[in-house]
A and B are shown apart, each in its own frame.
Chain A
Amino acid sequence: MIAGLTWLLAFQVLGEVVVRVLDVTVPGPVVGMLLLFVYLRVRRYGDDGAIVRAGSALLRHLQLFFIPAGVGIVAYLGLLGDHALPIAAALLGSWLLGLAVVGWTAVGLERLLGKPRDDLDDLGDLAAPGEAG
Chain B
Amino acid sequence: MRDDLLELARSPLALLLVTLAGYQAGRWLQARTGGHALAQPVLVAIAVAGTAITVLDVDYADYRSATELIAFWLGPATVALAIPLHRQADRLRGFVVPLLVAIVVGATTSIVSAVLIARALGADEALQKTLSTKAATTPVAIALTESLGGIPPLAAVFAIVIGIVSAITAPATLTLLRIRDRRARGLAVGAVSHGIGASRMLREDETEGAFAGLGMGLSALAISLLVPVLALVLF
Residues of A within 8 A of B (CB): 5, 8-9, 11-12, 15, 24-30, 32-37, 40-41, 45, 47, 51-52, 54-56, 58-59, 61-76, 79-80, 83, 85-87, 89-110, 113, 115-120, 123-124, 126-128, 131
Cβ A110 vs Cβ B94 within 8 A: yes
Report the interface size for chain B: residues with CB under 8 A from the other chain: 124
Q: A59-B84, A72-B64, A91-B162 are in contact. Are A26 and B131 (CB under 8 A)?
A: no
Partner of A65, one of B71, B109, B158, B228: B71
Which residue of B has the minimal Cβ distance to A45?
B86
What residues on A are CB-neighbors of B71 within 8 Å? 65, 68-69
Q: Give the Cβ gap from A59 to chain B, nearest Cβ, in Å.
A: 5
A91–B118 Cα distance when bound, in Å, is 9
Q: A68-B70, A91-B131, A94-B117 are in contact. Are A12 and B75 (CB under 8 A)?
A: yes
What residues on B are CB-neighbors of A67 within 8 Å? 19, 22-23, 42, 45-46, 49, 67, 70
What residues on B are CB-neighbors of A86 within 8 Å? 117-118, 121-123, 127
Which residue of B has the minimal Cβ distance to A85?
B121
25 contacts between A and B (CB under 8 A): A8-B76, A26-B220, A29-B139, A30-B217, A34-B217, A55-B82, A58-B77, A62-B199, A64-B70, A67-B23, A70-B46, A71-B46, A74-B50, A76-B157, A86-B121, A87-B127, A93-B114, A93-B117, A95-B166, A99-B177, A99-B191, A101-B110, A105-B105, A109-B101, A118-B182
Q: A68-B67, A87-B127, A107-B179 are in contact. Are A37 and B191 (CB under 8 A)?
A: no
Q: Give the Cβ gap from B208 to chain A, nearest Cβ, in Å.
A: 9
Q: A41-B89, A76-B157, A106-B187 are in contact. Are A25 and B117 (CB under 8 A)?
A: no
